[in-house]
Amino acid sequence: MPIKFVTDDGLYCPRIYCDVCGLEIDDCQKGNVCHPGTDPVFVHKGDCDRSQPRDKQYPWVELRHFMVYLGNNVGFKGKVARQAWEDARDMAGL
């Protein structure tokens, strides 16, 4: 499972892990999301990404764009996003 909660200084923090190498993807600009079917496959750009097939049956998006699309599809935008960011910042000290 590429999305996990890990504890960091007593806080539960959601993190994304590469489905190929198993290491954390900690920069949205350094990951891609492949979707051969309905389940997303998270990979680091570079060797991990190149290990995945590339054709019309195996589309992909950059992780940073995937996050925007995901947020948009659950209504995480505009005022809701700004308020959530402020709430999370206050709770977790972001």
Contact residues for Zn ion, defined by CB under 5 A: 18, 20-21, 44, 48
Helices (H), the chain: 47-50, 63-73, 78-92
Smaller CB separation from Zn ion, 18 or 41: 18
Residues in the chain: 94
| Tokens representing residue 16 in the block | 């994304």
Smaller CB separation from Zn ion, 36 or 71: 36
**d(Cα 54, Cα 80) in Å, to the nearest integer?**
36
By beta carbon distance, the residue nearest Zn ion is: 18
**d(Cα 2, Cα 28) in Å, to the nearest integer?**
14
CB of 42 to Zn ion, least distance (A): 8
Smaller CB separation from Zn ion, 1 or 74: 1
CB of 75 to Zn ion, least distance (A): 30
**Residues 48, 16 contacting (CB under 8 angstroms):** no
CB of 33 to Zn ion, least distance (A): 12
Smaller CB separation from Zn ion, 39 or 90: 39
